């Protein structure tokens, strides 16, 4: 096995960020091939291969921070001089290094090891199934490597910084505080790696075989994986597709220019830009807006819709918009980005139209956060005739997670129903239950979602807006955090709890919480909705004092005749 390491960078640089990686596991490479780009403060370098062979392992990831001497790839092959000596050319691999062929028999083949795939694998293996998981990059998928967990690690660092900045209001004085983004990113990577090792340990413990490489479905009982000079044919009873999603782009002039980042790169910025324009004021865009604003970056959000976080109720949008503005985030809603141009001094100009007028913002980085689309490249689903949604925006499944081929299931972002990690995991368990013969239908009526702005926002069930659109007769109970003792002691008393009751049944059908720890608070309301509880049953429950959860009790009391600690 040959390790390809980072040998040098531009100028005196000792470390840099991984840019685009040009190869994937299983690729055959030759000496001199450009494997990847590394960006350092002194400029970009292309890392060339000093070996020929098959890429067996990709140790790094786009956006990672690396130092000279770090291992980048593991190659099954030979180092350059040796290669030329032995072979005199590159037909060597076609003759001597024929791929090994392997055939295995399993119960379930899972393609993709994100929160959909890896949870399904563990759940199935615990129930005695022989499972193989195919993963082309890293276990944990988008969620663990470039999504939920890395963003929340950054959210936490930004929260700490925000709290220290206002420490004097608590009677605590701190001087000369500053942010070291390298440490922020290192901390994030440590958490990510710890969780990745955890999944790998669980795979081992439950005897789940993991194959590195790209999975391709040949027919409903055969999956093929080519990697590590090994071509594996898997004979399988059932297949679960869990291949996730990829970043969407929009046809904006200059979208590929140097200063433009996706969320993946934004999670690895080891130095802070002075000015950041975020294109897209949805969940991902707004989480980054609050993170970078807290770190002292001047943040501009340009959003096409008339509101940021437009799927939320108007009162929630108004609250978070006001807080964002108070914090200094500049919001341009109802605005269409036309171009991102580079200037002579290396900055970018974002041009957009708002109310028919052209506007321009100069900045050093642009984060494009306009959504994600299902990923199924090379899976072979078109040849197999697997049906998609009408707009081709996701694999069509029924309530049991089955595609139109009954023993092929699809879960998670690739189905494009709700792009959330916990939905992917739950769908995975539903798919496995059906494979095991337990008839299970998924129910999406109590799916929580969490937005890690500052303060957090959490929504479950139906929103007020949707209930009214659908003509559902509802009653609303609201309670402001400013009337909650615990929120006041936290110094974080913005926001409110809103509970939506179905007037005819008395049952809780939705809730939105904006405020401190909203994302954790929401789980008790989720449990209520999932079990068909009424607001009256909440009022009869004793909530601990002093806790922010008392606001849920108060919001329910508000529906049932009036809150105790608040009068409108």
Ligand X SMILES: Cc1cc2nc3c(=O)[nH]c(=O)nc-3n(C[C@H](O)[C@H](O)[C@H](O)COP(=O)(O)OP(=O)(O)OC[C@H]3O[C@@H](n4cnc5c(N)ncnc54)[C@H](O)[C@@H]3O)c2cc1C
Span near ligand X by CB under 6 A; candidates 355-363, 421-429, 485-493, 533-541: 421-429
- Rounded Cα gap, residues 90 and 79, in angstroms: 12
Q: What is the DSSP string of 370-393?
A: --EEE--TTS-HHHHT--B-TTSS
Q: Which of 238, 303, 413, 456 binds ligand X (CB under 6 A)?
A: 413
Specify which residues 132 forms β-bridges with: 109, 209
Radius of gyration of the chain (CA): 26
Q: What is the DSSP string of 187-213?
A: HHHHHHHHHHHHHHHHHHHTT-EEEES
Residue from 38, 72, 78, 111 in contact with ligand X (CB under 6 A): 111
- CA distance linking residue 250 with residue 258, whole number of Å: 16
Smallest distance from ligand X to CB 122, Å = 13
| Residue span binding ligand X (CB under 6 A) among the ranges 81-89, 115-123, 466-474, 476-484 | 115-123
Q: Per CB under 6 A, which region of 175-183, 393-401, 418-426, 527-535 contacts ligand X?
A: 418-426
240/380 Cα distance (integer angstroms): 14
The residue from 16, 63, 77, 117 that contacts ligand X (CB under 6 A) is: 117
Q: Write the CA distances from 512 to 44, 314, 424, 456, integer angstroms.
A: 46, 11, 22, 11
- The nearer residue to ligand X, 378 or 562, going by C-beta atoms, is 378
User: Is 492 a residue that touches ligand X (CB under 6 A)?
Assistant: no
Asked if 467 is part of the footprint of ligand X (rule: CB under 6 A), the reply reads no
In contact, 293 and 328? CB cutoff 8 Å: yes
Yes or no: say if 430 and 401 are a contact pair by the CB < 8 Å rule: yes
Among 21, 143, 199, 291, binds ligand X (CB under 6 A): 143
One residue of 49, 109, 142, 534 binding ligand X per CB under 6 A: 142
Q: Give 482-486 contacts, CB < 8 A, sequence gap 24+.
A: 483/554, 483/563, 483/565, 483/566, 484/546, 484/548, 484/550, 484/551, 484/554, 484/565, 485/545, 485/546, 485/550, 486/546, 486/547, 486/548, 486/550
Question: Using the rule CB under 6 A, is 448 a contact of ligand X?
Answer: no
Catalytic (active site) residue 545? yes
Instruction: Write out the binding residues for ligand X, residues 253-272 only, by CB under 6 A.
Output: 263
Site for ligand X in 503-532 (CB under 6 A): none
Task: Report the distance separating Cα 510 and Cα 446, nearest Å.
Answer: 8
Least distance from ligand X to the Cβ atom of residue 454, Å: 14
Which of 53, 63, 77, 112 is close enough to bind ligand X by CB under 6 A? Answer: 112
Candidates 389, 422, 545, 565; catalytic one: 545
CB of 82 to ligand X, least distance (A): 32
Q: If binding is defined by CB under 6 A, does position 116 make contact with ligand X?
A: yes
Kindly report the CA angle at 430 between 427 and 431, in degrees rounded to 5?
85
The binder of ligand X chosen from 66, 302, 329, 379 (CB under 6 A): 379
Near ligand X by CB under 6 A: residue from 45, 284, 388, 522: 284
Q: How far is the CB of 72 from ligand X (least distance, A)?
A: 18
Q: b/e for 245-255, b at 16 or more Cβ within 10 A? A: bbbeeeebebb
Q: Does 134 bind ligand X (CB under 6 A)?
A: yes
Q: Which is nearer to ligand X, 261 or 420 (CB)?
A: 420
Minimum CB distance to ligand X smaller for 77 or for 140: 140
DSSP secondary structure string for all residues of 536-562: HHHHTSPPPSS-TTHHHHHHHHHHTT-
**Concatenated DSSP letters for 469-530?**
HTT--EEEEEEEGGG-HHHHHHT----EEEEEEETTT-BEEEEEEEETTHHHHHHHHHHHHH
- Single out the segment in contact with ligand X by CB under 6 A; choices: 15-23, 70-78, 145-153, 552-560: 145-153
DSSP state of 534: B
* The one among 28, 39, 56, 137 contacting ligand X by CB under 6 A: 137
What spatial distance separates the first Cα and last Cα of the chain, rounded to whole Å? 71
Q: Give the largest CA-CA distance in the chain.
A: 87
Dist. CA 394–CA 380, nearest whole Å: 14
Show contacts with ligand X in window 339-378 (CB under 6 A). Answer: 375, 378
Stretch touching ligand X by CB under 6 A, among 106-114, 157-165, 300-308, 499-507: 106-114
Give the interface segment with ligand X, choosing from 132-140, 399-407, 438-446, 527-535 (CB under 6 A). 132-140
Stretch binding ligand X (CB under 6 A), from 27-35, 96-104, 399-407, 412-420: 412-420
Phi, psi (degrees; rounded to nearest 5) at 353: -110, 125
- Give the total of residues touching ligand X (CB under 6 A): 37
Site for ligand X in 187-246 (CB under 6 A): 214-215, 242-245
Task: Tell which one of 16, 26, 63, 141 touches ligand X (CB under 6 A).
Answer: 141
Please tell me whether residue 74 binds ligand X under the rule CB under 6 A.
no
Q: How far is CA 79 from the centre of its chain?
A: 38
Q: Which residues lie near ligand X (CB under 6 A)?
A: 111-117, 134-137, 141-143, 146-148, 151, 214-215, 242-245, 263, 284, 375, 378-379, 412-413, 419-422, 424, 450
Looking at the annotation, which residues are catalytic?
A: 545
């Amino acid at each position: 096995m040959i390790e390809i390491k980072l040998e040098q960078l531009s100028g005196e640089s000792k470390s840099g960020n991984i840019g685009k990686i040009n190869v994937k596991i299983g690729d055959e490479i030759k000496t001199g091939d450009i494997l990847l780009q590394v960006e350092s403060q002194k400029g970009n370098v292309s890392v060339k291969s000093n070996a020929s062979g098959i890429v067996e392992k990709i140790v790094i990831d786009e956006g990672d921070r690396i130092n000279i001497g770090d291992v980048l790839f593991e190659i099954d092959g030979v180092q350059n001089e040796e290669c030329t000596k032995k072979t005199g050319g590159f037909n060597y691999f076609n003759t001597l290094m024929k791929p090994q062929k392997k055939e295995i028999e399993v119960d379930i083949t899972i393609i993709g090891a994100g929160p959909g795939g890896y949870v399904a694998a563990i759940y199935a293996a615990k129930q005695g199934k022989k499972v193989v998981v195919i993963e082309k990059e890293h276990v944990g998928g988008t969620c663990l490597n470039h999504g939920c967990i890395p963003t929340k690690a950054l959210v936490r660092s930004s929260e700490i910084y925000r709290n220290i900045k206002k420490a004097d209001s608590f009677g605590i004085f701190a001087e000369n505080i500053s942010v070291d983004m390298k440490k922020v990113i290192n901390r994030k990577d440590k958490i990510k790696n710890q969780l990745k090792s955890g999944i790998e340990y669980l795979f081992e413990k439950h005897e789940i075989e993991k194959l590195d490489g790209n999975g391709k479905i040949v027919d409903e009982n055969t999956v093929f994986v080519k990697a590590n000079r090994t071509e594996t044919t898997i004979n399988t009873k059932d297949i679960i597709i869990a291949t996730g999603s990829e970043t969407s782009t929009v046809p904006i002039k200059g979208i590929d220019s140097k200063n433009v980042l996706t969320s993946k790169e934004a999670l690895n910025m080891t130095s802070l830009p002075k000015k950041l324009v975020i294109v897209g004021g949805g969940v991902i865009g707004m989480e980054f807006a609050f993170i970078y604003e807290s770190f002292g970056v001047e943040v501009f959000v340009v959003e096409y819709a008339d509101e940021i976080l437009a799927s939320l109720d108007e009162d929630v949008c108004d609250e978070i918009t006001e807080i964002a503005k108070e914090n200094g985030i500049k919001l341009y809603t109802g605005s269409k980005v036309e171009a991102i141009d580079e200037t002579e001094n290396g900055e970018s100009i974002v041009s957009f139209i708002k109310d028919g007028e052209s506007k321009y913002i100069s900045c050093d980085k642009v984060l494009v956060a306009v959504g994600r689309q299902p990923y199924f490249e090379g899976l072979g689903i078109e040849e197999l005739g697997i049906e998609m949604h009408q707009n081709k925006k996701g694999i069509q499944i029924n309530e049991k997670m089955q595609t139109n081929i009954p023993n092929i299931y699809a879960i998670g972002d690739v189905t494009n129903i709700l792009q959330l990690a916990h939905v992917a995991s739950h769908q995975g368990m539903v798919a496995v239950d059906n494979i095991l013969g337990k008839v299970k239908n998924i129910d999406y009526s109590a799916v929580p979602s969490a937005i890690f702005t500052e303060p957090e926002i959490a929504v479950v069930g139906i929103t007020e807006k949707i209930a009214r659109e659908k003509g559902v007769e509802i009653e609303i109970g609201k309670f402001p955090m400013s009337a909650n003792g615990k929120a006041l002691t936290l110094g974080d008393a913005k926001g409110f709890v809103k509970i939506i009751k179905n007037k005819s049944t008395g049952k809780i059908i939705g809730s939105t919480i904006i405020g401190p720890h909203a994302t954790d608070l929401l789980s008790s309301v989720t449990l209520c909705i999932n079990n068909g509880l009424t607001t009256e049953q909440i009022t009869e429950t004793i909530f601990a004092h002093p806790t922010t959860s008392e606001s849920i009790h108060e919001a329910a009391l508000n529906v049932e005749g009036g809150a105790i600690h608040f009068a409108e």
